Structure 1
């Protein structure tokens, strides 16, 4: 499939935003000199068995990109499918992506790989919700990888393998939903039980058997506010 691409660079009076439609269709909502708000929705049925989706995102130095997910993603029964996200964030840049659930239905075999590369002073906040099965289903097979690196090396490397038809003790247990808010490149407000990384960043995670009523909704709001404050401070420094 043709890659979906979103690229943001600063400009006057408005930032330059490049959008390329692939399996996902990005649409520009608002922008100013350094910020853009983009919505993404599926351009067709995805992920069907055998689909291979690639999304590339580039956030320019000193820019803030907010991505609004519309509709989420469902991996359907069939041949192995993949969903690959490559993100590069320039010096002092910020990415905010509140992803909607990624659902793996019965009989699906899905691979999801997300890679983020942060330049000096860059930061990202991502909401990731992985769901085994629709209502009444146990779900298919899911392999999910998340890799974050900055100029000094790896910040976070994580891999999850789960299969609704053959649950593994110590992975998800009887749960079928793993919900996470992931902050990298900055320290969000501390909460008991969160995982703090060696370098600036934290993860809040919740396991459940349903997607509604997640306790991480207010966490996203608080951490997004912290990321925005850092971005404003960075913009003020660049403006000088």
Structure 2
């Protein structure tokens, strides 16, 4: 499949935003000189067995890029063919990425590999919401191998690998739960509470395990951590954003 591409660099009077439609269709909502707000939706039916979705994101120096999913993703029955979902993200010096993902659901019979890789330059920050769900309501769920790797110039910040199978639950992983909701902050120190994981370098992870997505406590965490991240780029986000034509530069 053709890669989906999102890139933003500072401009005057408006940032330059480059969008390329692949399996996903990015749409420009608003922008100003150093900020862009992008909505991301499926361009067709995904994920089917054998689908290979690739998303390439680049945030230019000093920019703030906000991405929001318009609809969640459902990985359907694979019929023996594995599908893949790969996100490659580069956040330049002093830039910030805010990406609020909606639930990623592996239905019965699905076999999907999900890979997220983040490269953060000096002074870069990111807050990402990731919600993994085994099965739709009443289902056990399929197979989902998920990796999340983030690093900066000094080395790794976070390296995780999670292998899930709704038909063969792993003790000590999800247990009887089917929803793993996460908010991941990198490049700064958010305000944490008991149970959050504080990383060795600047960053933290808040997690929720549950039977349904609506029981998660992480909406509040997302709002608070995003607010903290925005404060680091206040000189950009305090300016009123100009409405832009959908998909335009």
Equivalence map 1:123-134=2 (5 Å): 123-134=125-136
Q: Deviations over 1:11-48 (max 9, x none)?
A: 00000000000000000000000000000000000101
1:233 Cα shift?
5.9
CA distance in 2, matches of 1:234, 1:185: 18
Match of 2:204 in 1: 202
CA distance in 1, matches of 2:95, 2:124: 5
Match of 1:139 in 2: 141
Match of 1:121 in 2: 123
SS in 2 for 1:50: coil
CA distance in 2, matches of 1:226, 1:180: 17
Q: 2:94 aligns with which of 57, 79, 92?
A: 92
The answer to whether the 8 A contact 2:34-2:236 is kept is no
1:213 Cα shift?
2.9
Match of 1:103 in 2: 105
1:232 Cα shift?
1.6
- State the number of aligned residues: 236
Post-superposition, which runs of at least 4 consecutive aligned residues in structure 1 deviate over 4 A?
Answer: 233-236
CA distance in 1, matches of 2:123, 2:235: 11
SS in 1 for 2:190: coil
CA distance in 1, matches of 2:153, 2:6: 22
Match of 2:214 in 1: 212
* TM-score using structure 1 length: 0.96
> Cα RMSD (Å) of the superposition?
1.2
* TM-score using structure 2 length: 0.93
1:234 Cα shift?
8.4
CA distance in 2, matches of 1:83, 1:6: 16
Q: Deviations over 1:47-106 (max 9, x none)?
A: 011100000000000000000101110001011000000000000000000100000000
Equivalence map 1:1-240=2 (5 Å): 1-78=1-78, 79-232=81-234
SS in 2 for 1:136: coil
CA distance in 2, matches of 1:234, 1:9: 12
1 or 2 for the larger relative contact order (CA 8 Å, sep ≥6)?
Answer: 2
1:168 Cα shift?
1.2
Q: Structure 1: 5+ residue runs without aligned partners?
A: none
Task: Return closer, same or farther for 1:209/1:131 CA change in 2, 3 Å cut-off.
Answer: same
Match of 2:243 in 1: none
The answer to whether the 8 A contact 1:116-1:149 is kept is yes
Q: Structure 2: 5+ residue runs without aligned partners?
A: 239-249
